[in-house]
Structure 1
C-alpha cells in the first residue's frame, strides 16, 4: 500500500470472472505521514481511504469483466459503514462482487476484513467509459502487473 500515490491494493489473491468476485490484500504501512494527523497518539486508517480501497478492489473486478476495454470511475458510495478501526501494520483482505450491471454503470458490494473481523463495507456505483487516453491505459497495464492481475485477461493490440 502506497498511500501517497493512492495505490491501495498490493495484490490480487483471487479473481473469479464466472462468479463476478475478487479478493485482494493490502498491507497498511506501519509508518506513514497520514497517521501523524489521524490521530496523534492513536493512529487509524482514515475511513475515506477504506472506501477508496474497496473502490479500487471493485475497479479491478470491473476491468476484468469488461476485458480491460473500459475504465470504471467511482460515481456513488452508498451504505458505507466503518465497523472497526484499522491500525498501521494490519493486513486487509478486501472482497468485492458485482450485484448489478446497467448501461454504462455497475454496482458492487465490498467488504474489508482484518483476519476474520469485518472492519468496513459499502455498496459502490461506478460509471465506465472507454479509456480516455493511451497514457491512462498504459498506467493501468503497469499497475495490473504490479498487483498480479491475470495478464491473460488483458487484451493487447
Structure 2
C-alpha cells in the first residue's frame, strides 16, 4: 500500500511550479501515535508530501517516461509543528531538470507562515534500470497519486473556460442570470 500525502493540487505549471494542499485530520492513524495526546504531523511525512508534489512536477515535465525517485534531501529546516485540524500548503519550484535527475525547492506553509523549507534531489531511472532494481510496478506514479494531478488539470480547464467566456455569460456559454 502507498500513502498519499497530497489531498489536491491548487496550482500546477508544467515543469515549473506546483502548489498542493494536505488537510490533517484525526482520521489519519499516524496522528494518534505521534504524539499521544498531542497529534502532530511527523516531519518525515511533511517531507514526503513535498517530495510527492515535486516528484509529480518533475515526472510530468518528462511525460512520465522515466521513474522519478527521491535521491536526497539536501537541506530541510522546520520552523514549527502542524497538528490535526491544520491545512498544509506545499509549494514546489523546479530549480533544474537534467537527464539524470532534478532539484526542487520545496516549502510547506501553515496559516501563511513558513513551516518547512527543503531542497529535494530526484533521480531519473530509465525503465530498464528501474525494472532491474524495483520491478515493473510503477510505485512512484500510482494511479491514485496521478488522479490528484488529473483533478487539478480538470479544475484548471474549468477556470480557463470560465475566464474565456464572454462578459455576462457563464462558462457554458449561457447568459448569466437568465433562465432558458
TM-score category (smaller protein): 0.7 to 0.9
Which residue does 1:117 correspond to in 2? 113
CA-CA distance at 1:141 after TM superposition:
3.8
Pair 1:99-2:95 in alignment: yes
Alignment coverage as a number of residue pairs: 147
Whether 2:85 is the aligned partner of 1:89: answer yes
Aligned with 2:50 (options 41, 44, 54): 54
SS in 1 for 2:146: helix
Displacement of 1:134 in angstroms is 5.6
Alpha-carbon displacement from aligned partner over 1:95-135 (angstroms, at most 9, x marks no partner): 10111223311100100112211111100000012344664
Unaligned runs of 5+ in 1: 152-157
TM-score (norm 2): 0.72
- Pick the aligned partner of 1:8 from 1, 5, 15: 5
The answer on whether the counterparts of 1:73 and 1:126 sit within 8 Å (CA) in structure 2 is yes
- Matched-pair contact (CA < 8 Å) for 1:31–1:88: no
Does structure 2 conserve the Cα–Cα contact (< 8 Å) formed by 1:76 and 1:126?
A: yes
Classify the secondary structure of the residue corresponding to 1:61.
Answer: helix
Give the alignment partner of residue 123 of structure 2, picking from 117, 122, 127. Answer: 127
**Native 8 Å contact 1:75 1:126 kept in 2:** yes
CA RMSD of aligned residues (A): 2.3
Q: Does 1 or 2 have the higher relative contact order (CA < 8 Å, sep 6+)?
A: 1
What TM-score do you get using the length of structure 1 for normalisation? 0.82
TM-fit CA distance, 1:81 = 0.9
Supply the distance in 1 between the matched residues of 2:53 and 2:148 (Cα, whole angstroms): 14
Counterpart Cα distance in 1 of 2:98 and 2:141 = 26
Q: CA deviation at 1:91?
A: 1.2
Question: Secondary structure, in 3 states, of the residue corresponding to 2:138?
Answer: helix
Deviation at 1:58, TM superposition (A): 0.3
Alignment counterpart, residue 153 of structure 2, candidates 122, 125, 150 = 150
Q: Which residue of 2 aligns with 1:80?
A: 76
